[in-house]
Amino acid sequence: MGFFDSFSKAFNDRDVIDMYNEDDEENGNYYRQRCFENTPSNHGWYKCIKCGKSFRKGDMDIDHIIPKSKGGTNRRENLQCICKHCNRSKQDDTSETNQDLKRRKKELKAQDKEDLKFLREARKIQNKEKRKK
């Protein structure tokens, strides 16, 4: 029995995704990785949601939609990828916060749908393998 097998038996798909995306406040840099994982990319190119241009990971910043200085968290709902240039001009500006939060929620919903699909496919393949044995 593989890791995935025992893992997925104990939890339903939704729990797996929630657990995976759980916030890790202790590891302060982890949110960067988490944000990229939860942002659609085109073969490693990420689109800045502010200027619409595409950049490589290294040229993207993680923006806290609600700034940390105003109590924003490291949760993925509060994170978005924007380019370094836009991030510099945004700073603690909250004029687009509501709009950003709404957009981010939608984006995550789509992302979770993809992840669920992936889990289901993985499970299907595994069940097929089992039947072969």
Which lies closer to Zn ion via its Cβ, residue 17 or residue 48?
Answer: 48
**Out of 74, 83, 104, 115, the residue judged to bind Zn ion by CB under 5 A:** 83
For position 62 contacting Zn ion by CB under 5 A, the verdict is no
Alpha helices in the chain (DSSP H): 3-10, 13-20, 30-37, 84-90, 97-132
CB of 51 to Zn ion, least distance (A): 3
Q: Which stretch binds Zn ion (CB under 5 A): 17-25, 29-37, 85-93, 121-129?
A: 85-93
Closest CA to 84 of 103, 68, 61: 61
Q: Nearer Cβ to Zn ion, position 53 or 117?
A: 53
Residue 21 gets the label, from left (phi > 0), alpha (psi -120 to 50) or beta, of alpha
Q: For Zn ion, which is the closer residue by CB, 17 or 86?
A: 86
Sign of CA dihedral 79, 118, 47, 57: positive
Q: Number of residues interacting with Zn ion: please give it, by CB under 5 A.
A: 5
> In angstroms, rounded to a whole number, what is the distance separating the alpha carbons of residues 52 and 124?
37
Q: Is residue 51 a contact residue for Zn ion (CB under 5 A)?
A: yes
Query: Contact residues for Zn ion (CB under 5 A)?
Result: 48, 50-51, 83, 86
